[in-house]
Structure formats: structure tokens, C-alpha cells
Amino acid sequence: MRPAVFLDRDGVLLENRPDYVRSWAEARILQGSLEALTRARRNPHKFVIVTNQSAVGRGLMSLDEAESINRRLVLEVYKAGGRIDGVFMCIHTPDQACDCRKPKPGLLLSAAGQLGIDLSHSILIGDAPTDLEAGHAAGVGRVAMVRTGLEAEHGLGARGNGTAIYADLAEALKELL
């Protein structure tokens, strides 16, 4: 079993959009993210995207469209010289009470089971409280936030709650790995 770096998608790798990223044409890779993953490619951690995509459950986009965005993002990471070892996505809306939608730990537990991940030695990097809660609920060893997404809206850095806060993915990976 190997540890993983779990990455939220929107706000960590792609810019958040209030109306959801619904096509690759709307996707904007956050500056420095590809380079950070390229620098970390030889690290023994697995790199896994875990993302809530309720736009599918809300009927705003199809599952095929959501999967296409994820495939394209993984391709861009590979083309830059980095790697993604898995993508796990919840398509449910908050009111569907599924086990996979963050803040519940289902996506992380599924990834751990399918990819042989040691959660206690893993890292989760997110941009919202739900990411942190999912990491804690799954038993992820270290959780961290980046300021490139929803963190600024929630103001976690100002509360001093003990969560490591980084400017972006590059800074987080440099410090955590």
C-alpha cells in the first residue's frame, strides 16, 4: 500500500466557476498547477483527483461531459510531464444523501480500496471545508487548503484552526512532499 495525494479538482487544479465548469472550453487550469505536478512526478505518492460534480445530478451537464473534462485534465497533466493515478467523482446533489459526496468520505475510501492507498500516510489538498471534513472522516493523515479556490470565501486561514493553508498547489506540494 502506498500513500496518496488527494486533489480536489475545482479550486485546486481548475479555476472555480459559480455556474460550474461544464465543458473543457470553460476550464481554466490554475497557474502553476501543471508545473507543480510535473515536479512531483517521481514522488512515490499516488496522485488522485477527488471531485464533487453536482452539475451532473442537477441536469446541467451530462456524465459524459463531466468525464470528458476529467480525461482532458489528466491528459494535460501527462502532456506537461506529470501524472494522475486516478479520478473519483461524485455526481450527486447535496440533497441525495449519498456516501460519496464530500464532506462524506466515500470518494476517498473508494480510491483507497481500488488503488491500494494507505490513508493514514496520505495527504488531501482542497479549497473548501467539505474537502477537509472528507479527509478527516476517511482518516487521511494530513489535510491542507489552498487559497486558489473557495478558501478565501470561507476565511479558514483567518480562523487559525490549525489547518495548513498554502497560496496554491505548487506551494502545498513543495511543503508537504
Paired strand residues for 47:
5
Paired strand residues for 126:
145
Whole-number pLDDT of residue 163: 81
Paired strand residues for 87:
49
List active site positions.
8, 10
Collapse the DSSP code of 52 into the 3-class scheme (helix H, G, I; strand E, B; otherwise coil) and give the result.
strand
Whole-number pLDDT of residue 149: 85
In 3D space, the residue among 142, 110, 109, 108 whose CA is nearest the CA of residue 8 turns out to be 108
d(CA 47, CA 87): 9
d(CA 9, CA 76): 13
Whole-number pLDDT of residue 160: 44
For range 2-24, the mean pLDDT: 96
In 3D space, the residue among 154, 163, 145, 51 whose CA is nearest the CA of residue 106 turns out to be 51
d(CA 164, CA 144): 5
The CATH code for residues 4-176 is 3.40.50.1000
In 3D space, the residue among 52, 121, 126, 138 whose CA is nearest the CA of residue 89 turns out to be 52
* pLDDT, tens only, 22-72: 999 999 999 999 999 999 999 999 999 999 999 999 999 999 999 999 999
pTM over 0.85: yes
Cα–Cα distances (Å) from 173 to 37, 47, 78, 87, 162, in that order, read 8, 11, 17, 18, 18
In 3D space, the residue among 8, 6, 35 whose CA is nearest the CA of residue 151 turns out to be 8
Whole-number pLDDT of residue 2: 97
* pLDDT, tens only, 98-151: 999 999 999 999 999 999 999 999 999 999 989 999 999 999 999 999 999 875
Q: What letter would DSSP give residue 36? A: H
pLDDT of 154 strictly over 60: no
- Helix or strand run (H / E) with residue 89: strand 86-90
